[in-house]
Amino acid sequence: MLTSTICAAVSAAGLGIAALTAYRKRFLAATRIAAFSLVPIGLVLTGIVDWLTDVVLKPSVWAGFGILALSALLFMVSRVAERRRLGGGRKERKAAEPGAQSDALAPGASAPSLGPGRSASRPQGGAKKSADGEDFSDIEAILKKHGI
Mean pLDDT for the stretch of residues 1-26: 89
- pLDDT tens digits, residue range 53-68? 566 667 887 888 899 9
Please determine, for residue 44, whether its predicted confidence score (pLDDT) is greater than 60.
yes
Specify the pLDDT at position 8.
87
Report how far Cα 123 is from the mean position of its chain's Cα atoms: 44
- The span from the CA of 139 to the CA of 114, in Å, is 14
Least confident of 86-95, 110-119, 132-141: 110-119
pTM of the complete model: 0.42
Q: How far is CA 86 from CA 37, 44, 104, 119, in A?
A: 25, 36, 16, 37
Compute the average pLDDT of residues 95-113.
56
The yes-or-no verdict on residue 10 having pLDDT over 70 is yes
Domain range annotation of the chain: 2-90
Query: SS3 letters for 26-59?
Result: CHHHHHHHHHHHHHHHHHHHHCCCCHHHHCCCCH
Choice among 7-16, 19-28, 46-55 with the minimum mean pLDDT: 46-55
Q: pLDDT for 108-125, tens place per residue?
A: 555 555 555 555 454 555
Confidence at residue 5, expressed as pLDDT on a 0 to 100 scale: 83
